[in-house]
Amino acid sequence: MKIAGKIKKGHAWLLALTFILSRMICSTVQAASGIEMDRVCSVSFVLDGDIEEEFAELKSLPVSVKLYKVAEVDSSGDYTALEGYQELGLEKVNSETTAADWESMAKKASETVKTLQAEPVSEEILENGAGKMEGLAVGMYLVEADAIRSQEYEYKFTPYLLSLPNNYYSTDGNDEWVYDVTAGLKPGKESLLGSLVINKTLSSYNSTLGPATFIFKVEAEKDHEVLYSNVVSLVFDGAGTRSLTIDQLPAGAQVTVTEVYSGASYQLTTEPSQTVTILTEGAEGSPVHVSFGNAYNGQLNGGASVVNRFTNDEGVWDWQPQDDSSADQN
């Protein structure tokens, strides 16, 4: 493989961005001895962050970690970028290189890997939040972990650059090269979303009374926190079935739908309140459905209602009266 691009001597250890340390190493040090070129390296990966609580689920998920080699190193600590990675800007690394700079270089390296369709030199599946890669040559590597989904969340990991061997002089005062490195993976998590469909069937209708309005209170709760609360309505001008969909509800949320108004001359033929669990979009059984039924009760009491729909445009609130919430979907 063709090699090009030089990186300043004495900064090999700077190429480590190990989240297990929770900070960037940013001072300059000359190792007491040269790098042993024939030395075999290893990396032990662990999940960083609040693994016991916020990210506890990750310990039960198979996290795939990949290493891509982006530079060679010589015994004196000089790195030479591999073909395709010369534009990362690693030759500018010095004691003033910031964490933001490292993140930018790692992001560019990740984009380059995709452009080159590069193959990883090693891959490991973390079990119970830990895993180890062995038999690695000295050099500088990009660390990437694949995004992974559970039933309720998507977990993503920030790519970073890792030097093998490494040096932790700025944290423990030891200027020896470390060939068996421990590195962290800092996860982020985002709630997946799903949809709720409210179905309403009116089995009998009295046209003399005019349109029949039915109003529902919808409340979504997850981890003892109310994440969504609203009222919606459906208006009928005849017997039949109508539906409306509520999108962007957090997967795993418990949603309770209650019919709070059935009109003056119509009565419920089903339970007034139903609770369901929102599923991820694309999962079997998604979107989740609830169904309500009503029938004309023989009385001649007309009635109607209006649901106010509020919108916020650049900090300015506005509202519009709305008879039928399903109008938003047309």
Question: Which of 56-60, 113-117, 294-298 is most confident?
Answer: 113-117
Residues whose CB is less than 8 angstroms from the CB of residue 161 and which lie 6 or more positions away in sequence, other chains included: 15, 16, 17, 70, 102, 105, 106, 109, 140, 141, 142, 143
Give the model confidence (pLDDT) of 101-127 as tens digits.
888 889 999 999 999 999 999 999 998
Strands of the sheet containing 288-296, edge to edge, are 240-250, 193-202, 288-296, 266-268
pLDDT of residue 101: 87
Q: How confident is the model at residue 242 (pLDDT cuts 50, 70, 90)?
A: very high
Burial (0-12, 13-18, 19+ Cβ within 10 Å), 165: buried
3-state secondary structure string across the chain: CCEEEEECCCCHHHHCCCHHHCCCCCCCCCCCCCCCCCCCEEEEEEECCCCCCCCHHHHHCCEEEEEEEEEEECCCCCEEEECCCHHHCHHHCCCCCCHHHHHHHHHHHHHHHHHHCCCCCEEEEEECCEEEEEEECCEEEEEEECCEECCCEEEEECCEEEEECECCHHHHCCCCCECEEEEEECEEEEECEEEEEEEEEECCCCHHHCCEEEEEEEEEEECCEEEEEEEEEEEECCCEEEEEEEEEEECCCEEEEEEEECCCCEEECCCCEEEEECCCCCCCCCCEEEEEEEEECCCCCCCCCCEEEEEEECCEEEEEEECCHHHHHC
Instruction: Report the predicted TM-score, pTM, of the whole model to 2 decimal places.
Output: 0.73
Tokens at 274, concatenated = 């139903």
Give the model confidence (pLDDT) of 1-13 as tens digits.
333 333 333 344 3
Residue of 329, 330, 249 lying closest to 290 (CA atoms): 249
Mean pLDDT value of segment 225-241: 94
Contact between 68 and 141 (Cβ < 8 Å)? yes
- 3-190 domain in CATH 3.40.50.10440? no
Mean pLDDT of the residues in the chain: 82
Mean pLDDT value of segment 10-32: 39
pLDDT of residue 2: 34
Tokens at 159, concatenated = 């790519």
Domain segments of the chain as ranges: 3-190, 193-299+317-329
CATH of domain 193-299+317-329: 2.60.40.10
By DSSP bridging, strand 254-261 and strand 212-222 are: antiparallel
- Do the domains spanning 3-190 and 193-299+317-329 agree at the CATH topology level? yes
Specify the range with the lowest mean pLDDT, choosing from 5-14, 127-136, 164-173, 318-327: 5-14
pLDDT of residue 233: 93
Tokens at 237, concatenated = 């001008």
